[in-house]
């Protein structure tokens, strides 16, 4: 059972989310999810990950199989890359999993943890999820938002300087 407020996140690249937002902007802000998958010749289960990620970040809603861009998604799609990073950063800080690791890293003298320890925490927090995949996604999203970093040579996960 996950800790309160800590939920798994989809294994999805944020560039795919931004692509979905661009597509929705071009199509008037709303489109049927199956139509998007067909038009892009995309596997629907892969599109679901992108939709779920965009929904978690507050960029879209998904009523009745449609994908609808929300005001924050509209703001994001109209922003430059630096503004997008700030928007994603603020959203990630509100997600339980990211907030957990921010608190954990703030409690460390050097604001970092070895990867193995992070994987142990992930295994305890979300025992039904593959920790390596979650770790990779956390690092990718965190790097984009300049929230977390990872030094592969030292296997060290760290809090980016604020």
Q: What is the pLDDT of residue 42?
A: 87
Place of tokens 């929705």: 24
Q: What is the pLDDT of residue 60?
A: 98
pLDDT along the chain (162 residues), means of 10: 74 96 96 93 92 97 95 97 96 95 95 97 96 97 96 95 65
CA 132, CA 122: separation in Å to the nearest integer?
Answer: 9
Q: What is the pLDDT of residue 4?
A: 54
Which sequence spans correspond to the domains of the chain? 14-77, 82-159
Q: What is the pLDDT of residue 1?
A: 37
List, as one string, the DSSP characters of 79-90: S-HHHHHHHHHH
Half-sphere exposure of 152 (CA within 13 A, CB side): 3
CA 103, CA 9: separation in Å to the nearest integer?
Answer: 18
The second-level CATH assignment, the architecture, of 14-77 is: Orthogonal Bundle (1.10)
pLDDT in tens, 53-100: 999 999 999 999 899 999 999 999 999 999 999 999 999 999 999 999
For 17, the token pair is: 């989310």
Strand ranges (E), the chain: 30-32, 60-61, 66-69, 112-114, 148-151, 156-159
* pTM score above 0.75: yes
């Amino acid at each position: 059972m996950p800790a309160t407020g800590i939920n798994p996140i989809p294994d999805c690249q944020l560039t795919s989310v931004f692509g979905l937002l661009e597509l929705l902007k071009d199509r008037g802000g709303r489109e049927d999810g199956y139509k998007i998958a067909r038009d892009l010749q995309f596997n629907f289960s892969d599109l679901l990950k992108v939709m779920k990620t965009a929904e978690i970040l507050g960029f879209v809603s998904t009523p009745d199989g449609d994908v609808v861009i929300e005001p924050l998604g509209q703001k994001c799609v109209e922003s430059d890359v630096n503004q997008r990073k700030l928007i994603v950063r603020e959203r990630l800080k509100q997600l339980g999993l990211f907030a957990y690791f921010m608190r954990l890293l703030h409690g460390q003298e050097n604001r970092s943890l070895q990867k193995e320890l992070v994987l142990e925490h992930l295994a305890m927090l979300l025992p039904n999820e593959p920790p390596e995949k979650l770790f990779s996604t956390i690092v990718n999203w965190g790097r984009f938002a300049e929230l977390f970093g990872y030094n592969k040579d030292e296997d060290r996960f760290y809090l980016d300087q604020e």
